[in-house]
Amino acid sequence: MKNTNYSPKINYSTENRNKGKNQKKNQVNTIQNTKSQAIVVWGSSMGSSFGQRYLSPIVRSMYELTIFIRSIIIGLILSDGWFNLRDGRLNPSIGFEQSIKHFAYFWYVFNILKPYLSNWFNFRIRTKYFKNMGKPIITCSMALATRFLPCFIELYNLFVVNKIKTIQVDLINYFDAVVFAHWIMGDGTAGVSGGLILCTDSFTLVEVVLLMNILMIKYDLKCSIQDHKGKYRIYIHVESMNTVRSLVGPYIIPEMQYKINNNQK
């Protein structure tokens, strides 16, 4: 009599396990070709890789930056953004951090850059000590980091020299209203007299002069440089604020409009 309780043998060899993993990777990273010419919102047809840790080199090379996204990133780098580049790697990533009180702006940026992210943002809680205060201050912020992608190399070379973020003359060729808007949302402060202060504390005097010249040459803004505790900031005079509002107003989120409308009745 035949044994009806037959169970097939399963091969748990390393070769088969690796084969299964490779098949899974290939399935995850497969991008379907299409001949569709439909007009869609940029990013909606990219195929989300958010939450997916691994991307093949081929898929990474397919990522591109639109002019709009590129301009946003430049504005972030001018303010609270930075580049990460691991030793021995060619592709950089971009980091960005904001205080919890600016969550609306951070959330706006997060959703725009989401196609370039692999995971959610992080909350950071720090204790800071200030000499002029008798007790430590606890701060809370959010930070994100993009993937390490070839599409960021151009901007890395635009800003980074010898591993230091700097301002170069070529920036004028990339500077537009979107860059200006995100620079303001990140590092802009409404001036008491109705103007606008750009907190360029992390740059040298030569770099601040270069940034100010970009604003004066491209948009004919009336600007000056202010000394703030040994650091240099750009002040845009109230006479130029109507021009600033017409340029960046459409790209400033509602929660940040106060930075350019502080002298409006």
Write out pLDDT tens, residues 52-92.
778 888 888 889 999 999 999 999 999 999 999 987 789 99
Residue ranges covered by each domain of the chain: 46-159, 167-255
With a cut of 50, say whether residue 101 has pLDDT above it.
yes
pLDDT at 192: 83
Question: The tokens of 195 are what?
Answer: 């103007």
pLDDT one-digit tens code per residue, 9-65: 434 444 444 444 444 444 444 445 556 677 766 555 555 676 677 888 888 888 999
- CB neighbours of 230 closer than 8 A, spacing ≥ 6? none
By residue count, the chain amounts to 265
Average pLDDT over residues 99-103: 92
Query: Measuring CA to CA, how many Å separate 11 from each of 16, 23, 117, 165?
Result: 7, 17, 37, 54
Q: Are 93 and 83 in contact (CB under 8 A)?
A: yes
CATH architecture of the domain 167-255 equals: Roll (3.10)
In 3-state terms, what secondary structure has residue 192?
coil
pLDDT at 131: 64
Same fold, 46-159 and 167-255: yes
CATH superfamily, domain at 46-159: Homing endonucleases (3.10.28.10)
pLDDT one-digit tens code per residue, 119-138: 888 777 777 766 666 678 88
Percent above pLDDT 70 for the chain: 79
